[in-house]
Amino acid sequence: MNNKPKYHLFKNTKYAFDGLKHAFKTESSFRLELLSAVFIIIGIILIDVTLVYKLILLVTGILVLIVELLNSAIENVVDLVTTEHAPLAKTAKDIGATAVMFSIILHISIWIIVIIWA
């Protein structure tokens, strides 16, 4: 028997906003990255480059937020599974943090490339 709930656009959208609200309230890294995104968007608007470059900068900026949210989800699941100090739990959290770091490095690298070559 399938107990999977039926898909409802409005319910699922509410769940997404609930997740966003929770991340904003509980995740200081996400709040900092969201604040940075405001300045990044202003920079994207002000920089004198083509629309394609602006879109690339925007996409890589949003990617940082997406990866941070996924990292927070990983951390929450790990915390749900164990409250003890477990090597695999630490590894899972560290790998999630590495993904965030790589997304930030990618975003900064793209900014540097656009500023130098565009």
Q: How far apart are CA 118 and CA 109, in angstroms?
A: 13
Q: What is the pLDDT of residue 118?
A: 83
Give me the pLDDT at residue 61, please. Answer: 97
User: Are 33 and 64 in contact, with CB atoms under 8 Å apart?
Assistant: yes
Long-range contacts of residues 22-30, Cβ cutoff 8 Å, at least 24 apart: 23/69, 23/72, 26/72, 27/68, 27/72, 29/68, 29/72, 29/100, 30/65, 30/68, 30/69, 30/72
What tokens were used for 38? 């405001």
Q: Which residues are CB-contacts of 68 (< 8 A; sequence separation ≥ 6)?
A: 27, 29, 30, 33, 100, 103
The two structure tokens encoding residue 34: 């969201």
Q: What per-residue confidence (pLDDT) applies to 1?
A: 56
Which pLDDT belongs to residue 78?
96
Residues known to be catalytic: 68
In the chain, the domains with their CATH numbers are 9-117 (1.10.287.3610)
Name, in order, each residue with C-beta under 8 angstroms of 72's C-beta and a sequence gap of 6 or more.
23, 26, 27, 29, 30
Tens-binned pLDDT, residue by residue, of the chain (118 aa):
567 767 777 788 999 999 999 999 999 999 999 999 999 999 999 999 999 999 999 999 999 999 999 999 999 999 999 988 899 999 999 999 999 999 999 999 999 999 999 8
